[in-house]
Amino acid sequence: MENNSKMEKVLDTLRKLKAFYESAKKNDSEGEVEAAAAQINKLLIKYNLTMEDIGEKKEESQIVKEKVSGMNYAMRGWWEVKLTNVLCRFNLCESFTYGRHYDTILIVGKKENVELVKWMKETFAKRYVAISKVRYKEYKKKIEEGIIYTHDVPTLHRYQRSYLMGVCDGLARKLQEIKDENERQYAQQVTALVVNNKAALQQFYQSEGMRFGRGYQMNAGSCSDARHKGYTDGYKANVNRPVGEGNKRNKVSGYIS
């Protein structure tokens, strides 16, 4: 009886967090979305639950595939493809590129995970494209002041390509550390979650008749200063900000299953 009461409280908390998460997405509140997702994921993993257990419609938890553009911004170098791949890797999705110039990205996973990846991709892309312009101005100023010496001053676009690829690497390291921490705390639950999700993805690929070719090596960019600065900024990404002002201690992130 006590266990049932405790589980009902957990489910009630999850329903409230899910409602808050949806509201924050509509309001484009980046920090609130990330934090709500982190808290939902923590509880799902800890109590071995799925979104269906908290009242999600069954069809919303099935595997879907959605297309997004990999060329929303005028900088080549495939950094948007890499960013999507990083976000998918840590949100139980997978991504693939196709099309004449490999500029279309296909995201595959449970609907709620795919929606989260799409939202995070757009949010991070806008954020770091804007920051890259600021970093370039700082870089040029250091050259003018003699702090940095180079014969080959990169253009803005060249600097941005290297910076944004560095951001992806730094963000990947940050998310990997969060994932490792979750696995240390909830090893059995996380393993079961990943295995079940992988099986669902493989079944989906077979049912869709999807076939895959060889991948390609992404260019990391030719400006080492920009790439290093991007890596540092990506690693510092605040992906676990607390929900609201009164709850500043919950900083665990994981998956929406």
**Residue 143 carries which side chain, given as an amino acid letter?**
I
Select the highest-mean-pLDDT range: 19-23, 83-87, 111-115.
83-87
More confident residue, 75 or 129: 129
**Residue 209 carries which side chain, given as an amino acid letter?**
G
pLDDT, average across residues 48-53: 69
Would the pLDDT of 181 be above 80? yes
| Each residue's pLDDT tens digit, 128-170 | 999 999 999 999 999 989 888 888 889 999 999 999 999 999 9
Q: What is the pLDDT of residue 219?
A: 61
More confident residue, 188 or 101: 188
Q: What is the pLDDT of residue 239?
A: 65
Would the pLDDT of 74 be above 70? no
| Each residue's pLDDT tens digit, 194-215 | 888 899 999 999 998 888 766 5
Tokens standing for residue 63:
């595997």
Percent of the chain clearing pLDDT 90 (strictly above): 35
| Each residue's pLDDT tens digit, 28-45 | 666 677 777 777 777 776
Q: What is the pLDDT of residue 140?
A: 94
Residue 245 is classified by DSSP as S
Q: What is the pLDDT of residue 62?
A: 85
Contact of 120 with 206, CB cutoff 8 Å: no
Exposed e or buried b for every residue in 171-209, given b needs 16+ CB within 10 A?
bbebbeebbeebbeebeebbeebeeebeebbeebbeeee
Would the pLDDT of 21 be above 80? no
More confident residue, 225 or 220: 225
Q: What is the pLDDT of residue 257?
A: 33
More confident residue, 112 or 217: 112
CA pair distance 20, 128, nearest whole angstrom: 26
Exposed e or buried b for every residue in 137-164, given b needs 16+ CB within 10 A?
eebeeeeeeeeeeeeeebeeebbbbbbb
pLDDT, average across residues 238-256: 40
Q: What is the pLDDT of residue 56?
A: 56
Using 50, 70 and 90 to split pLDDT, how confident is the model at 244? Answer: very low
More confident residue, 56 or 44: 44
